[in-house]
Amino acid sequence: MKAALLYQFDETLNAPDWLSYEEVPDPVIEEPTDVIVRIGGAGVCGTDLKLIKGLWCDHMRIELPMILGHENAGWVEETGRAVESVQVGDPVILHPTGAGGLEASKAAGNHRSRKRGLFPGFNRNGGFAEYMLAEEGMLLKLPSHLSPMDTAPLADAGLTAYNAARRAAKHLTPGHYTLVIGAGGLGHLCIQILGALSSTEIIVVDKSKAALDLARSVGAHYTFIADEHYTEKILSLTGGKGVETVIDFVGTDTSVNKGLFVARRGGYYYLVGYGGRLTLSTLELVLSEKTIVGVLGGTFSDLKELLTMVDRGLVALTTREYSLSNANKALRDLKDGRNYGRTVLIP
């Protein structure tokens, strides 16, 4: 099969190409609950760039060469002898972490209790390929009218956005404000999910006017360019009180400091983006009684609920497609900020 492989890390992201598009052996069934998926679409994520930089090496063992790709959807190509929940030909989306078998994936949604430590695209081969080895407990059937090409980014970008929005919605009532920092691939999904789960007034900040246009088109009530004055505008809008919840998809030093500044006393800050440093006065945190929560992915149940929203037309995904052979261009365009919404590779 054809695949795009990472052979070496690039801390500066200055290499002309990061992935090698080449022929590799097809995956084979190894365990009774294994499933081979023919990839229909594989999402390209900012995390892929961070993996290429080697940022995750301190947190898990990553052996190269490896096939990236943790946002995957396709069709069942072959099943192990113990697989019962899917059949050959079924369209499926893959939860991004191995769920430890079908039973574990259904149990209370704890997506990190996995039997074999599966994390496609991180510590085993992912979906930047024509075929991928998965486990039955990772698979969720797609509604018949949703295609793998159009839904692949929901497996992580949508899942993470849903997790953050679901947590935030618990604290929101009519008249409350939510600040979404970053209106890109995750942000434009979060805006729609917040609108479906709550009656909050949604404020969005981003450096890009085009991204803010996208944010308004999917339901943002207020949008501001992320300049040095946007915190003043938000405090003015909220009568000086600040916002009840902040969902930060950027995670830089600046976004965190500004986001915490406009969070009201007793507010909630959901940190999704990463790469910066969190520095704050412990006394200030105690006095303000703000809660800071890190958000990583989501549960199997979250993914099922998100797909129901998409199926009902409550959430729509904006994508740009590239052929798998153009994986390097897709990554370069993502790095350079040329794409809004999500990027999908098509084998």
Write the pLDDT tens digit of every residue in 267-304. Answer: 999 999 998 888 888 999 999 999 999 999 999 999 99
The model's pLDDT over 303-346, given as tens digits with 9 standing for 90+, comes to 999 999 999 999 999 999 999 999 999 999 999 989 888 999 99
Residue 16's pLDDT band, with cuts at 50, 70 and 90, is very high
Q: How far is CA 172 from the centre of its chain?
A: 23
Q: Is the pLDDT of residue 101 over 90?
A: no
* CA-based nearest residue to 3, from 78, 72, 65, 67: 67
The pLDDT of 15-19, averaged and rounded, is: 96
Least confident of 20-29, 51-60, 201-210: 51-60
pTM of the model: 0.92
Cβ-based neighbours of 175, under 8 Å, separated by 6 or more: 201
Instruction: Grade residue 176 by pLDDT with cuts at 50, 70 and 90.
Output: very high
Residues 95-107: what's their mean pLDDT? Answer: 58
Domain ranges of the chain: 2-155+317-346, 159-294
The answer to which of 85-94, 111-120, 187-196 has the lowest mean pLDDT is 111-120
Cα angle at 40 between 34 and 42, to 5 degrees? 85
pLDDT at 278: 84
Looking at residue 130, its pLDDT comes to 99
Task: Determine the pLDDT at residue 344.
Answer: 98
The answer to whether the CB of 213 falls within 8 A of the CB of 187 is: no
Per-residue model confidence (pLDDT) at position 116: 54
Q: Angle, nearest 10°, between helix axes 209-217 and 187-197?
A: 30
Taking domain 159-294, whether its CATH number is 3.40.50.720 is answered by yes
Instruction: Provide the pLDDT for residue 109.
Output: 46
- When pLDDT is cut at 50, 70 and 90, the band that residue 112 belongs to is very low
Q: Which percentage of the chain shows pLDDT scores above 90?
A: 84
The torsion angles phi and psi of 115, rounded to 5 degrees, stand at -70, -40
- Check residue 164 and give its pLDDT: 98
60: pLDDT confidence band, cut at 50, 70 and 90? confident
Smallest CA-to-CA distance from 292 within 259, 329, 328 is with 259
In angstroms, the CA 168 to CA 79 distance is 39
Q: What is the mean pLDDT of residues 222-243?
A: 97
Is there a contact between 228 and 145 (Cβ–Cβ < 8 Å)?
A: no
Tokens of 345: 């590779």
- Residue 105 is predicted with a pLDDT of 47
State the average pLDDT over residues 144-172: 96
Pair 18, 59: CB distance under 8 Å: no
The whole-number average pLDDT for the span 94-121 is 59
CATH fold label, 2-155+317-346: Quinone Oxidoreductase; Chain A, domain 1 (3.90.180)
Contact (CB, 8 A) for 207 and 228: no
What is the identity of the amino acid at 250? V
Residue 108: predicted pLDDT: 44
For residues 168-190, b (16+ Cβ closer than 10 Å) or e, as one string? bbebbeeebbbbbbbbbbbbbbb
pLDDT higher than 70, residue 106: no
What distance in Å separates the CA atoms of residue 243 and residue 264, rounded to the nearest whole number? 5
Residue type at position 140 = L
